[in-house]
């Protein structure tokens, strides 16, 4: 369709401009998830309030939505606000159930975000009993039926029940894990599990009988590195047990993913683990990605690195060490827009950051309910209880009403609909309020990761798939 010719138009206020560091710039239209490469002169022309539609480039940019008519963008934002409210209400109907089987853990990692529980001995030792599990599943049935008019089962396949802890898969808890799997499967739920993997080999045959969508296991490097960071009580390293567990799970056809937690103590040695990972034959069946260890309010842990340092450091490693190639998709893990631009994956605007702001419910062994993994065990973030009976409190309403439209700083930010306002728990921890932004890595991802991935796409055929149609990165062509 040919656009109506105009003499001048306005550049998008929320346009994202990325310096590609080769003289060109990537201009992103955040509403449509598309990017166009422009030169410095074009960028200069776009910096004025009214842009003359005097040449083919400007006409092409207008067609791609980078230029709009007066008031059009404000109307669009109002329409998005209405759409976000509707989506938020709809999404709340489908609950994400997370089961904190126990607060106890068989490892003693120095950077654990649940370390604060070690001081509360009684709480830390809490583990679900059969009676607790029975009450929990009665609760889940009530919640599912109330919210979905009995139709929740249609969505369960895409909405696995998550087993977490402490450590959910500990040998001594085998029978309660088995009981939970049985009860969840009877309701038609698949599962995902976040585990340290130390006792996984004992569970692999049991898990293979159920619909398990994902098992996330953490390894922090080669044996020497990992064992200094992730050890059992009494300082016995867990590396050999975890490797055995992964092999066992792999043999049983279970979908394992590896997370490598990095900070200043181990990040330089991640390439050695890449070599081990290849030698084991885990690549590409078992995906692995590098993440940074994040602070938690009770954690005094000096090797932490900031989001900016982590982003720069990982790109530096990717550039100088070929072995890192196997972990490259780490760059895309937290970035829907980048995945869309380089792989043509579906792109949708992000009005909130994660399920905790919509429908996630984390049930602990003491009968309390929390909104998110990290908030578990923090009394101030309790959103309800299921023992002795189900009830929710005002904190739940606060968590489940947070969107980019409730955070003034985000509304002003051009990354708003890509970022979603950042981690809610991070906002509480660092800014003391849910209605504050948590920018974390987003700005550094835009500044550092985008140029790197863009050049990788250009230089490495097959490195990343280049999107062609709606999304992809283009040079604006003349009509
Ligand atoms: S609020 Fe933050 S820590 Fe909690 S689940 Fe969401 S992203 Fe994770
Ligand atoms: S959290 Fe920060 S980066 Fe994200 S939308 Fe809000 S202000 Fe922007």
Q: How far apart are the first and last CA of the chain?
A: 12
Q: Which residue has the higher pLDDT, 353 or 292?
A: 353
Of these ranges, 11-20, 326-335, 444-453, the one predicted with the greatest mean pLDDT is 11-20
pLDDT digits (tens, 9 = 90+) for 371-389: 999 999 999 999 999 999 9
Yes or no: say if 203 and 246 are a contact pair by the CB < 8 Å rule: no
- What b/e readout covers 228-256, taking b as 16+ CB neighbours within 10 angstroms? bbbbbeeeebbbebbbbbbbbbbebebeb
419 CA: nearest ligand 2 atom: 4
Whether 13 has a pLDDT exceeding 80, the answer reads yes
Q: What is the largest CA-CA distance in the chain?
A: 75
Q: How many CB atoms lie within 10 A of CB 261?
A: 20
Instruction: Identify the residue whose C-alpha is closest to ligand 2 atom 5.
Output: 416
Which residue has the least CA distance to atom 2 on ligand 1? 423
Instruction: Give the start-to-end residue ranges of the domains of the chain.
Output: 94-334
Whether the CB of 437 sits within 6 Å of ligand 2 = yes
Choice between 385 and 54, residue whose per-residue pLDDT is larger:
385
Tell which one of 114, 164, 356 to mutate to probe ligand 1, the residue whose CB is within 8 A of the most ligand atoms.
Answer: 356
Both structure tokens of 388: 């002795």
What pLDDT score was predicted for residue 312?
Answer: 86
Query: How many whole angstroms from 1 Cα to the centroid of ligand 1?
Result: 43
So what's the pLDDT on residue 31?
93
Task: Determine if ligand 2 sits within 6 Å of the CB of residue 28.
Answer: no
Q: How far is ligand 1, taken at its centre, from the CA of residue 425, in Å?
A: 6
pLDDT surpasses 60 at 67 = yes
pTM for this prediction: 0.90
Q: What is the mean pLDDT of residues 214-218?
A: 97
Regarding predicted confidence, which is higher, 43 or 462? Answer: 43
User: Which positions ≥6 away from 143 have C-beta within 8 Å?
Assistant: 95, 361, 390
Annotation: CATH topology of 94-334 = TIM Barrel (3.20.20)
Instruction: Give the closest ligand to the alpha carbon of residue 291.
Output: 1
| Stretch 337-362: mean pLDDT | 87
């Amino acid at each position: 369709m040919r656009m109506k010719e105009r003499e001048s138009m306005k550049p998008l206020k929320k346009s994202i401009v990325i310096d590609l560091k080769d003289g060109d710039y990537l201009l992103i239209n955040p509403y449509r998830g598309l990017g166009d490469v422009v030169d410095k002169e074009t960028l200069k022309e776009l910096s004025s309030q009214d842009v003359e539609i005097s040449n083919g480039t400007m006409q092409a940019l207008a067609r791609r939505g980078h230029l709009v008519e007066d008031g059009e963008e404000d109307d669009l934002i109002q329409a998005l606000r209405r759409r976000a409210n509707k989506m938020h209400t709809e999404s709340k109907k489908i609950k994400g159930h997370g089961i904190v089987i126990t607060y106890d853990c068989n490892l003693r990692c120095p950077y654990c975000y649940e370390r604060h529980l070690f001081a509360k001995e009684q709480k830390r030792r809490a583990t679900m009993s059969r009676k607790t599990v029975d009450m929990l599943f009665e609760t889940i049935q009530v919640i599912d039926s109330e919210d979905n008019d009995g139709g929740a089962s249609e969505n369960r396949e895409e909405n696995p029940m998550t087993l977490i802890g402490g450590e959910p898969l500990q040998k001594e808890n085998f029978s309660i894990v088995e009981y939970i799997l049985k009860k969840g499967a009877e309701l038609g739920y698949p599962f995902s599990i976040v585990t340290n993997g130390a006792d996984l080999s004992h569970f692999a045959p049991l898990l293979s009988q159920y619909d398990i969508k994902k098992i996330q296991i953490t390894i922090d490097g080669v044996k020497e590195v990992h064992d200094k960071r992730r050890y059992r009580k009494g300082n016995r390293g867990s590396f050999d047990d975890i490797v055995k567990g992964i092999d066992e799970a792999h043999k049983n056809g279970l979908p394992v993913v590896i997370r490598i937690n990095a900070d200043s103590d181990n990040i330089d040695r991640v390439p050695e683990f890449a070599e081990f990972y290849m030698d084991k034959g885990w690549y590409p069946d078992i995906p692995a990605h590098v993440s940074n260890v994040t602070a938690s309010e009770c954690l005094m842990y000096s090797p932490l690195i900031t989001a900016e340092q982590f982003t720069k450091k990982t790109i530096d490693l990717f550039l100088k060490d070929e072995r890192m190639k196997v972990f490259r998709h780490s760059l895309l893990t937290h970035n829907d827009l980048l995945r869309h631009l380089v792989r043509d994956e579906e792109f949708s605007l992000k009005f909130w950051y994660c399920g905790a702001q919509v429908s996630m419910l984390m049930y602990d062994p003491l009968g309390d309910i929390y909104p998110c993994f990290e908030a578990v065990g923090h009394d101030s973030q309790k959103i309800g209880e299921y023992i002795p009976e189900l009830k929710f409190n005002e904190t739940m309403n606060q968590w489940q009403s947070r969107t980019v439209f409730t955070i003034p700083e985000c509304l002003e930010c051009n990354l708003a609909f890509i970022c979603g306002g950042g981690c809610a728990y991070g906002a509480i921890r660092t800014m003391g309020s849910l209605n504050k932004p948590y920018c974390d890595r987003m700005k550094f991802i835009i500044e550092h990761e985008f140029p790197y991935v863009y050049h990788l796409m250009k230089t490495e055929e097959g490195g990343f798939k280049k999107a062609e149609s709606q999304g992809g990165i283009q040079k604006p062509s003349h009509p």
